[in-house]
Amino acid sequence: MAPVHLSGLLVLLAHQLVTALPAPNPTINQHPTETSYLGYNPTNVLDTADTHSIQFSYAPGQTNSPNDGASLNFIGLDNPQPIRGSKGGYDPGPRTEQYDVLNPDALAPPTTDHGSVDNAQWPLGLSHVKLGLGRAGWSRQQNEDQIPAATEMAGVDMRLEPGGYRELHWHKAAEWSLVLNGTVRVQAVNEEGQTFVDDLEAGDVWFFPPGVPHSLQALDQGVEFLLVFDDGSFSEDNTFLASEIFAYNPISVLAKDLQVPESAFKNIPAGQLFIFPGTPAPSNISEQNVTGSAGIVPFDSSYSYHFSKAPNTYTTPGGTVKIVDPTVFPIASGFSAALVTIKPGAMREIHWHTTSDEWNYFLAGSARIGIYAAEANSQTFDYHAGSTGYIQKGMTHYIENIGDDDVVFLEVLQADHFSDISLGQWLALTPSQIVMDTVNLTAETVSQFKKEKQYIVMGGPEP
C-alpha cells in the first residue's frame, strides 16, 4: 500500500467531515414572514411620536451655567426636567413628579456632584409604621436597612396618645431621646435598685444605658419623641419586653420567682403589648416616686436633662446652635447633639467630625446637604421635615436652608463632647501663603477668612 502523507490525510478527513454534516436550513437567512415579530422585518414601521417637544417649565437659575450649583426650586412648576445649564436632557415620563419636586438636587444635581457617595438620606414618611393597640400610638424607624452606611446610629419616631404606654422594656443599645411635642412621664430602675421618674416636655432629653429597664407614658397632651440608638442595626422589634417575659416563662416559674400563687397569672397578656392604652398617670408625680433601700438615682447620674430650658450655645445672624453633651448631661456618655436652627438663605458652615459619624433628623423646613467623601466623590441630598440623614466621619458637609422658612434639625454624634473642624477656620489659621499656593486664591481673599468658627453663615456677597 502506498504511503499517505500527513497533509493529504488531513484534507481527506476534512472532506469526509463536511460531507457528513446535515444540509443547512434554507430558511435561516431569509426575511421573517409578515406575521413574525422577531428581528428585522420591512413591514415593521416605527412609531415616530415626538418625545423631544414636551411641555415643561424651567426653575429660576436652571439655565445658568452648570457650574453655578445654586439650589433649584421646582415647587409649582410644570413637568420639571433633568437639566442644569447646558447639561442633561428631557424626561417625557412615565415618572412621579412629586419625588422630583422634593429632591431637586437628585433630578438636576450641581456639577460639583461627582462619582458616588453612599446614600445619606431617608424620609421617615417612607418607613413602615408599627401601630399600637387600642389607638394608643405608633412608631416608625430608620436603620441600616434604609441607609446602609448608617452603621453607628439608628432612629425611631414614636407617638403615644394621652395615657398611652411604651411598655416596660430594655434594649441592648443605649437610648437617647428628644421630645418633639407634648409631655411624657419617664421611669426607670438601674442595676443598683435606684429608681428614677421625671416629667418632660417638648425640647427635653432623656437617656437610658443598655439594659436599664424603663417605661414611658404620655401625659394629658399625648407625646411624640425621637429615639436615637448607638447601633445602626437596631430595630424596635428587637426589644426585651415585660409582657413577653410573662408570656414565655412557665407560670410555675413566675410564681416561684415572684412568690405569689399561680392563680395570680391567669390574665397575663398572651404576647407583647409594645404600645397600649393605660390608666392615666396621676398628676402628682410624687405618687409614682417609688423607692427601695438604694434610694433614687443620684442627681449627677440623672436620666433626663431639661434641654428646653437651656439657653442657646451660639447665636449668629444666620441662626442658633444649642448643644447638649456629656459635659452637661453626664449619664449620656456617648451622645453629643446640637439642635440647630438655620434661617432662610443661611447655611451650617462646611465642616467635618474627626471621631464620629453624624446622624440627622429634620424637624422643620427644607434643606440640602452637600457631602465630599474624598477620592473625587461628592453628592448633594435634599431633606424636609421628617427626613433622617447620615454623614460618615471625616466627610466634609454643609447644611443649607433652601426654603422660605427656618430649617430646624438635630445633629447627633457618638462622642464625649460636641466638636467639629470648620473649613473656614482651618484655612484662616493656616499660613496664608500655603493656602494661596494650594487653591490659587489671592491674598485679599484669604485675609477675609474668619479665625473663629462661624457655625452658621449667611449668604455671601454677590460675585
Indicate the SS3 state at residue 97: helix
Contact 60, 73 (CB under 8 A): yes
Q: What does DSSP assign to residue 374?
A: S
- pLDDT per position as a tens digit, 98-157: 999 999 999 999 999 999 999 999 999 999 999 999 999 999 999 999 999 999 999 999
pLDDT band (50, 70, 90) for residue 39: confident
DSSP strand pairing (214-229 vs 137-142)? unpaired
Q: DSSP class of residue 296? A: B
Q: Do the beta carbons of residue 419 and residue 346 sit within 8 Å?
A: no
C-alpha 362/C-alpha 194 separation (Å) is 35
Q: What is the mean pLDDT of the chain?
A: 92
Cis peptide before 94 (omega within 30 of 0): yes
Name the band, by pLDDT with cuts 50, 70 and 90, for residue 459. Answer: confident
Residues 6+ apart with CB under 8 A from 330: 300, 301
C-alpha cell at 407: 430649617
- Stretch 429-450: mean pLDDT: 98
- The answer to whether the CB of 236 falls within 8 A of the CB of 258 is no
Helical H runs in 238-327? Answer: 242-247, 251-258
The Cα 84–Cα 99 span in angstroms is 17
Domains of the chain, first to last: 62-111 (no CATH), 127-305 (2.60.120.10), 309-420 (2.60.120.10), 421-456 (no CATH)
* 162-193 pLDDT per residue, tens: 999 999 999 999 999 999 999 999 999 999 99
Q: Is the pLDDT of residue 23 over 70?
A: no
The letter for the amino acid at 320 is: T
Cell of 370: 452637600
* pLDDT value of residue 314: 98
pTM exceeds 0.95 for this model: no
Q: What is the mean pLDDT of residues 203-217?
A: 98
Q: What is the pLDDT of residue 419?
A: 97
Closest CA to 363 of 236, 184, 203, 232: 203
pLDDT category at 394 given cuts 50, 70, 90 is very high
Rounded distance between C-alpha atoms, residue 272 and residue 256, angstroms: 22
Residue 66: the pLDDT is: 75
Q: Is 411 in the active site?
A: yes
Predicted pLDDT of residue 8: 47
Contacts of 459 (CB under 8 A, 6+ apart): 345, 346, 347
**54-83 confidence digits (pLDDT tens):** 999 999 999 998 778 889 999 999 899 999
Q: Under the phi-then-psi rule, with left for phi > 0, alpha for psi from -120 to 50, and beta for the rest, what region is 388?
A: beta
Q: Which segment of 13-17, 92-96, 207-211, 332-336 scores lowest on mean pLDDT?
A: 13-17
Mean pLDDT across 314-326: 98
**Residue 134 DSSP class:** G
Q: What is the distance between the alpha carbons of residues 225 and 178, in angstroms, rounded to a whole number?
A: 6
- With cut-offs at 50, 70 and 90, classify the pLDDT of residue 33: low
- For 190-313, list the strands marked E by DSSP: 195-201, 205-208, 214-229, 240-241, 275-277, 304-305
What pLDDT, on the 0 to 100 scale, is given for residue 9? 40
Amino acid (1-letter code) at residue 74? F
C-alpha cell at 52: 423631544
pLDDT score for 32 = 62
Bridge partner residues of 226 (DSSP): 157, 178
Q: What is the pLDDT of residue 67?
A: 79
CB 339 within 8 A of CB 233: no
Catalytic residue, candidates 411, 444, 452, 462: 411
Residues in the chain, how many? 463
